[in-house]
Amino acid sequence: MREEELKKLLLKENEEFKRLYEKHQECEKRLKMLQEKLYLNENEKYEEKILKKEKLALKDKMYHIINEYKKIKNGE
């Protein structure tokens, strides 16, 4: 199963994966809003830094779930 197909399946079947994915999308949306600004004040720069770290942590957790699913599916 390809990774995109697996993500779609997990979004339907795994509540934790779905929660992480939705939070990741929220971070992405907020980061995009910040990046579209011409100038960021100090609070916005700090928020951008925190959002990038949070987004990466969420992605790591999602990939952990994907890898665990693959192990189970492959009978490991």
The residue ranges of every structural domain in the chain are: 3-73
Q: How far apart are CA 10 and CA 62, in angstroms?
A: 10
Confidence of residue 74 (pLDDT cuts 50, 70, 90): confident
Q: Would you call 37 exposed, middle or buried from its count of C-beta atoms within 10 A (0-12, 13-18, 19+)?
A: exposed
Tens of pLDDT, residue by residue over 20-67, are 999 999 999 999 999 999 999 999 999 999 999 999 999 999 999 999
Q: Is the pLDDT of residue 3 over 90?
A: no
